[in-house]
Amino acid sequence: MVNALYDGLMKRGQRDQDAVFAKMQDGRFYTYADIEDVSARFAMKLKKLGLKPDDRLAVQVEKCIEALMLYLAAVRLGAIFLPLNTAYTAREIDYFLGDAKPTIFIISPEKEEAFKPLAEKHHCILETMGVWSNDKDDFGSFFKDVPESAAKFENTPRAGNDLAAILYTSGTTGRSKGAMLSHNNLLSNAKVLSDYWAFSKTDILLHVLPIYHTHGLFIATNTILVAGASMLFHTAFKVEDVVKDIKNATTMMGVPTYYTRLLAYKGFTRDKAEHMRLFISGSAPLLAQTHKEFEERTGKRILERYGMTETCMNTSNPYKGERLTGSVGFPLPGVEVKIAERETATPLERGEIGVIEVKGPNVFQGYWGMPEKTQEEFRPDGFFITGDLGYIDQEGYVTLIGRDKDLIISGGLNIYPKEVESVLDEIHGIKESAVIGVSHRDFGESVVAVIVAENPDSVFITDIENHLKNKLARFKQPKHYEIIEELPRNTMGKVQKNVLREMFGKIFG
């Protein structure tokens, strides 16, 4: 029996073991042979620490090639990989460790003091990992006693329906949910995207996305692996570095923020991008103005697509054919998409707006430890209710128009309003709060906090910002505050966030 995901990802890459998989900014590079070797040695170390099939491996480290090897090592062991946003604070990590109950938690060395009590509280082994290069003396505890040879390692057999990863996704009510993704969920999507976007061994992806998120970890990395292609592995998106290195790439995946920042950089000219085969955008809606300005600047039309943590990719504008501005394209091969009335599940006609539902091998297995919630989000016929609103036009293009809940997506990252509101409401002098997402040219959406104060004259924004600094990841913290006398409510007493968005929707221009 094979290891479904690992063997599937490496099948094409194994044809040329000496081919470069990733080149880092510090000059190091990994070949496909290095992937086989290092991920196996890491798997042997994890096994020695006590990681077994179906155990969870939680990881919160800075972006580095070694973190990708941890992901593949977990897959090869039959364990379940749990990547965590590097911005999460101790308060947030406490929840994830308590919910997922990982056997091992690997973190950046500088966070050891802060997170050691949490690891002890949740009875998980704590290891540290830095960048495994010759420029540093302290790489982290994980690298100690990593076997020097992988000769004796054998992959753990895994079937397509076995779990490979858990990714936590935010909603607008209740607690964060762990989306369970199987080997086949991830592999099927990578294969489809590799073919649909015409990736080949000659492609070089400019990888500037974070790898704690499905976009950078599963969409970008898995697609490159299954195609046997290469990537330029940047530790973060820095516009100067991107413009400098883009001449060495053929493709790039990004969030809308990346493209607006490229357009704002004078050094990003048509000649810099003329050789590029493909620019892809996702994780948040791309403004029509950004589409237009990018094409005018570069002569290239960005390909926009639509996916979710729970489903990876669902739709995409075509590689060959018209890429329709404002649309996320057609359902991917093997993926069914329909528009339905939320309450009755009645299918709607072309052009009618309703909730988007999807079905296919890419759709996740359910929410970790939440069988009732899982059942609520699936129709009896197996379609997953995405919670996104949209329509399908007469030509078959899917267009998103919003969400039926109040999830905020800023810079490609999901933000859970209730979580921010709970922290705000802890502050003395704040009577209540409502958090909304407001259109922002750079981030797509930005967080705005609307506050009702006990005494408006006694509320100081700097005090609020200081309170939130160590309670929430920076990307969740509001970028603007409004103080009003009372929150608008309907007859049932529910806060009308749509009214708030109308009131403050233009504050960023």
CATH number at residue 184: 3.40.50.12780
The reply to whether 424 and 398 lie within a common domain is: no
**Which one of 236, 269, 289 terminates a domain?**
236
- 280 lies in some domain: no
pLDDT at 359: 98
pLDDT tens digits, 237-281: 999 999 999 999 999 999 888 998 999 999 999 999 999 999 999
The reply to whether 223 and 89 lie within a common domain is: yes
Identify the CATH number of the domain in which residue 348 sits. Answer: 2.30.38.10
Residue 425, CA distances (Å) to 94, 289, 449, 493 in order: 20, 37, 11, 18
- 247 lies in some domain: no
The reply to whether 137 and 14 lie within a common domain is: yes
pLDDT at 29: 93
Percent of the chain with pLDDT over 70: 95
More confident residue, 77 or 390: 77
pLDDT (mean) for 69-81? 98
- 258 lies in some domain: no
- 275 lies in some domain: no
pLDDT band per the 50, 70, 90 thresholds, residue 320: very high
The reply to whether 376 and 414 lie within a common domain is: no
The reply to whether 312 and 377 lie within a common domain is: yes
438, two tokens = 């407001």
Identify the CATH number of the domain in which residue 462 sits. Answer: 3.30.300.30
pLDDT at 234: 97
Neighbouring residues of 155: CB distance < 8 A, sequence distance ≥ 6: 2, 3, 6, 7, 76
The reply to whether 474 and 384 lie within a common domain is: no
pLDDT (mean) for 404-429? 83
The reply to whether 446 and 352 lie within a common domain is: no
| Number of structural domains in the chain | 3
Percent of the chain with pLDDT over 90: 70
**Which one of 403, 427, 456 terminates a domain?**
403
Task: Please check the confidence at residue 502 and state whether its pLDDT lies above 80.
Answer: yes
Residue range of the domain that includes 334? 302-403
284, two tokens = 């948040």
- 336 lies in some domain: yes
The reply to whether 390 and 422 lie within a common domain is: no
The reply to whether 343 and 490 lie within a common domain is: no
pLDDT (mean) for 409-433? 85
Task: Please check the confidence at residue 317 and state whether its pLDDT lies above 80.
Answer: yes
- 337 lies in some domain: yes
- 267 lies in some domain: no
- Alpha helix positions (H), 101-171: 112-121
- 174 lies in some domain: yes
The reply to whether 40 and 180 lie within a common domain is: yes
Residue 367, CA distances (Å) to 454, 466, 498 in order: 39, 34, 28
Q: What angle do CA 65, 311, 398 make, to 5 degrees?
A: 120
The reply to whether 392 and 420 lie within a common domain is: no
Neighbouring residues of 380: CB distance < 8 A, sequence distance ≥ 6: none
The reply to whether 357 and 450 lie within a common domain is: no
**Which one of 236, 261, 293 terminates a domain?**
236
